[in-house]
Structure 1
Amino acid sequence: MSDEDVRVRTLLRAFGDDEFACWLLPDQQHRHHVYRNWFGMVLQHAEQHGEVIVRADGLAVQIWLDGSSGPPSLLDEEGERRLAELAGPRTARFHEFGELAAAHHPAEPHQYLAMIAVDPSVQSTGIGGRELREALRRWDAEGRPSYLEASSTRSRNLYLRLGFRDIGTPMVLPHDGPTMYPMWRDPA
């Protein structure tokens, strides 16, 4: 993925400085370098093992993975190796999150929304909800439930309005990390 990839740019602008990103990689310059590369690898992996849905203008990006056989991975082995090179000792935080997320991940087959990013220039305009509704209609037509981890109470509220419900207990990340909310949506 090139630095000019609008999908990477949208992901970086949406998530590059949020609470979760700062927990993973506190140094902003290092975080943006790692994230730029990591997002590119995640997109490449999702194109092969899931689906990347991009709004025509590139201002919204959804990364869906197939959760038919357990918690899906965001990266392949080569991607994991490259992430370790990029993140160095902070790779441990990626693994801590991965282990906690896997422990909360439902066993039932589903579509997993790994990420939805909306460029900050158009956040709070309804774009994210509209884009997500389109994807959910597809999963509804296929009879597929959906799962995600909301990364804030604000995003959790959006997902509740779209028919998701909380499942299990919230995931509190260690080392004063943020709280994530596992959520499930049955097909409509």
Structure 2
Amino acid sequence: MSDDDDLRVRTLMRAFADDEFARWLLPEQEHRHRVYREWFGMVLRRAEQHGEVIAGADGLAVQIWLSGRDGPPELLDEAGGRRLAEIAGPRMVRFREFGELTAAHHPAEPHQYLAMIAVDPSVQATGIGSRELRRALQRWDVPSYLEASSARSRNLYLRLGFRDIGPPMLLPHDGPTMYPMWRDAG
């Protein structure tokens, strides 16, 4: 299946098409669309091998989980990182800055890492994201970690039992604020 045919890639692209983090990472909308299509496909394939991708049959909510047992997990392997550098061009510096900042704040304790959760805009604010995330959190008897990319998503995670750990992370170049959050097991 090509990335264009993968409903999960389409949901990720629609959900992250124009949010504040997406605009910071890749400001040019057309470039963002081209890069995201391939990047999300690579991230999904990596998570299928080294983590878990959770998506309902309708594909309207997609979660990408990676194991944080051995330190900060990588979204891409080495070849994927090289390919991302090719397609992102000069904007690769933003991907690196984000990766370095989040790796520096990533907890050392074993955990499951929610790298991404996407809800199709057509069903956002209907409770589907909360419901699907709640189900996923019941799967593991280990703590969970994530970086909330907005105050709105931070509030959702607080309602689901996450708490802030450490101060918010401010991305450089007038970037958005990210909120590192932790949820104990159970």
What is the TM-score normalised by the length of structure 1? 0.97
Query: Offset of 1:49 from its aligned partner?
Result: 0.5
Q: Tell me the residue number matched to 1:14.
A: 15
For residues 100-150 of structure 1, what are the alpha-carbon distances to aligned partners after superposition, in whole Å with 9 as ceiling and x for unaligned?
0000000000000000000000000000000000010111xxx20000000
How far apart, in 1, do the equivalents of 2:185 and 2:78 lie? 32
- The answer on whether the counterparts of 2:3 and 2:37 sit within 8 Å (CA) in structure 1 is no
Query: Offset of 1:17 from its aligned partner?
Result: 1.0
Q: Tell me the residue number matched to 2:118.
A: 117
Query: Offset of 1:4 from its aligned partner?
Result: 1.6
For residues 160-185 of structure 1, what are the alpha-carbon distances to aligned partners after superposition, in whole Å with 9 as ceiling and x for unaligned?
00000000010100000000000000
Residue type at the aligned position of 2:32: R
- The answer on whether the counterparts of 2:62 and 2:117 sit within 8 Å (CA) in structure 1 is yes
Q: Tell me the residue number matched to 1:174.
A: 172
Residue type at the aligned position of 1:115: M
Q: Tell me the residue number matched to 1:2.
A: 3
Q: Secondary structure at the match of 1:176?
A: coil
Q: Secondary structure at the match of 1:23?
A: helix
How far apart, in 2, do the equivalents of 1:2 and 1:23 lie? 23
Q: Tell me the residue number matched to 1:152.
A: 150
How far apart, in 1, do the equivalents of 2:95 and 2:61 lie? 24
Query: Offset of 1:2 from its aligned partner?
Result: 2.4
Q: Secondary structure at the match of 1:138?
A: coil
Q: Secondary structure at the match of 1:35?
A: helix
Q: Where does structure 1 differ by over 2 angstroms across 4 or more consecutive aligned residues? A: none
Q: Tell me the residue number matched to 1:185.
A: 183
% identity of equivalent residues: 80
Q: Secondary structure at the match of 1:3?
A: helix
Query: Offset of 1:16 from its aligned partner?
Result: 1.6
How far apart, in 1, do the equivalents of 2:22 and 2:79 lie? 22
Residue type at the aligned position of 1:110: H
Q: Tell me the residue number matched to 1:133.
A: 134
CA-based RMSD of the aligned residues comes to 0.6
Residue type at the aligned position of 1:93: R
How far apart, in 1, do the equivalents of 2:36 and 2:81 lie? 13
Q: Tell me the residue number matched to 2:40.
A: 39
5 Å matches for 1:19-98? 19-98=20-99
How far apart, in 2, do the equivalents of 1:149 and 1:2 lie? 25
Residue type at the aligned position of 2:98: F
Query: Offset of 1:187 from its aligned partner?
Result: 1.2
Query: Offset of 1:151 from its aligned partner?
Result: 0.4
How far apart, in 2, do the equivalents of 1:108 and 1:15 lie? 29
What is the TM-score normalised by the length of structure 2? 0.98
